[in-house]
Amino acid sequence: MKKTLTYVLTALMAGLVLMLGAPAASAHGGAIKLEVTGDGADNVNVLATYKKDGHPVTEIVEATLSATSADGRSFGPVPLRSAPEGQNLYHAAEPLPNGDWKVTVTATEPAKAATTVKVKAGEISVSPVAATGPASASAQSKAAAAADDEGAMGMPLKIGIIALVALLAVAAFIGLARRNRASVGR
């Protein structure tokens, strides 16, 4: 009887380990999405995320930026460089000249992706109002969504449910074993 209980507990623990390990192993990879926005001055911000789950791309992104202005000027291609502000945030290696630009960012690693947006570049003075603009609000909402995705109810809730199911299975097994032993002893 002790061997059977040992086997059941081992199988339950192995199942628990497999279930907890699965999300981390399959969370990333595949196609990436590039979000390109002007930084309010003379450069652009490029945010790289996985299309499948929206998580940040943690690998180095190999990408270039090219731009064409409304008056026919061209800029680039220039490589993107990792920004100190974030793991999956990139900036052009050179600032955009003043004007309205149609910017195309093309990535080759870790996956191929491209996007084109319109950006206005120019020297502006920094004010407290600029820090709460649409780009900042978008970044804040994305950070909040990521926190909700991985936050307080995500992984701990999964672990709690799995542990509860495992305890119920062990309790049912012990109850059946006692019932079986009682009926055999009569």
Residue 37 lies in a domain: yes
**How many structural domains comprise the chain?**
1
CA distance 80 to 62: 7
For the chain, the distance separating the N- and C-terminal CA atoms, rounded to the nearest angstrom, is 18
Write out the residue range of the structural domain in which residue 53 sits: 32-122
Residue 107 lies in a domain: yes
pLDDT band at residue 134 under the 50/70/90 scheme: very low
Residue 99 lies in a domain: yes
pLDDT tens digits along 16-68: 666 665 444 445 678 888 888 777 777 788 888 888 887 888 888 888 888 89
pLDDT tens digits along 8-23: 667 666 666 666 654 4
Please report, for residues 79, 88, 128, the alpha-carbon distance to residue 122 in angstroms, rounded to integers and kept in the order given: 20, 24, 18
- pTM higher than 0.75 for the full model? no
Dihedral pair phi/psi, residue 165, rounded to 5°: -65, -40
CA distance 16 to 10: 10
Residue 19 lies in a domain: no
Residue 164 lies in a domain: no
Residue 176 lies in a domain: no
pLDDT above 60: residue 144: no
CA distance 68 to 1: 77
Q: Supply the CATH number for residue 63's domain.
A: 2.60.40.10
Residue 96 lies in a domain: yes
Residue 3 lies in a domain: no
DSSP codes, 61-101: PEEEEEEEETTS-EEEEEEEEE-TT-TTEEEESSPPPSEEE
pLDDT tens digits along 65-106: 888 988 888 987 888 888 877 777 888 888 888 888 888 888
